[in-house]
Amino acid sequence: MALPRTSFTHGPKLPAVVGGGAGAQAGAPTTTGNAAAATSAPGKPRALVTGASSGIGWACAEALRDAGFEVIGTSRKGAGAAHPDGIEMVALDMGDPASIAEVAESVVAGGAPAVVVANAGESQSGPFEELPADALNRVFQVNVLGQVDLVQRLLPSMRAAGRGRVILVGSMLGGLPLPHRSSYVATKAALRGFGLSLRGEVSRFGIGVTVVEPGSINTGISTRRTKYGAAEGSPYRDDALTMVSNLDANEAKGISAEDIAETVMEEVAAERPLPLVARGSRAGLVVPLTRALPTEATLALMRRVHGLK
């Protein structure tokens, strides 16, 4: 049973962020190119979703659209990428600071976003010893520094508007580390740290920050994961392949992207949004249990679940 949303459990009461009505934009023609060029009904709130061409980003963009928001989605291919109907798509490369600055400027030119869902990212695996430096740098730029840069550029307009919601899509692995996923785990732990710290800075300006951490989720991400190391002759090969095999199997049985979008929308609509919420992988049981267990016991549990000793 959910706890009542009080200042002690959920933080201060914030100005509501409300869309323009269910289905307001569904099926509307898609605009392309420039986020400032979108047309919307007077007073219609705007939402930005990064990584909106697949998975969680796609589902969040649809949910926000159906709740009556004017939605801007991003992908590296912009309007050329697959995307939900009624969503304006713009090109954004999280690895390119110039691209981030351009998109932020374009979004703000059309008015402060009421909601930002920072979801774009790379899933990466490989033994730490065998991770190339450029891969490590890239995953931190895409998963952390790029997201933080974008939010930082959007915050002044949201603060001036006196309301907003920032959703950072992390991972349960940010608090439950797994061998051979050190780079990915570290990025999600960093994103959690940024989000929870930022929350205390901006709540007095009417802005809520929530870190949403999915567990195993069936979005096809296993086919897009970048894998490094564990080649023939590597001392880590057997363990790394075993971990990935079990990880893929768990994800195939995982929750849907729509389940995560539902959680995101709950926090967007809440007057007292949660600081941190996990969903999937029996989060309601696993998260409290691992908080009570010694750290080594938690790490051993994660290894066992993924076929490791």
Element (H, E) at 139: helix 133-140
Q: Let me know: does 34 contact 12? Beta carbons within 8 Å.
A: no
Instruction: Count Cβ neighbours within 10 Å for each residue of 270-307 and write b for 16 or more, e otherwise.
Output: bebbbbbbbbbbebeebbeebeeeeeeebbeebbebbe
DSSP annotation of 78 reads G
Alpha carbon distance 105, 278 (integer Å):
32
Q: What is the dihedral of CA 48, 53, 58, 61, to 10 degrees?
A: 30
| The one catalytic residue among 184, 194, 228, 236 | 184
Alpha carbon distance 136, 278 (integer Å):
25
Going by their DSSP bridges, the two strands 88-91 and 115-118 should be labelled as unpaired
Cβ atoms within 10 Å of 79's Cβ, excluding its own: 16
Looking from the CA of 178 toward its CB, the CA atoms found within 13 Å total 27
- DSSP bridge partners of 72: 48, 88
Alpha carbon distance 177, 172 (integer Å):
9
184 catalytically annotated: yes
Amino acid letter at 108? Answer: V
Structure token pair of residue 34? 């420039």
Alpha carbon distance 61, 45 (integer Å):
13
Structure token pair of residue 279? 């969903």
Phi and psi torsions of 123, nearest 5°: -95, 125
Structure token pair of residue 156? 């002044």
**Residues assigned a catalytic role:** 184
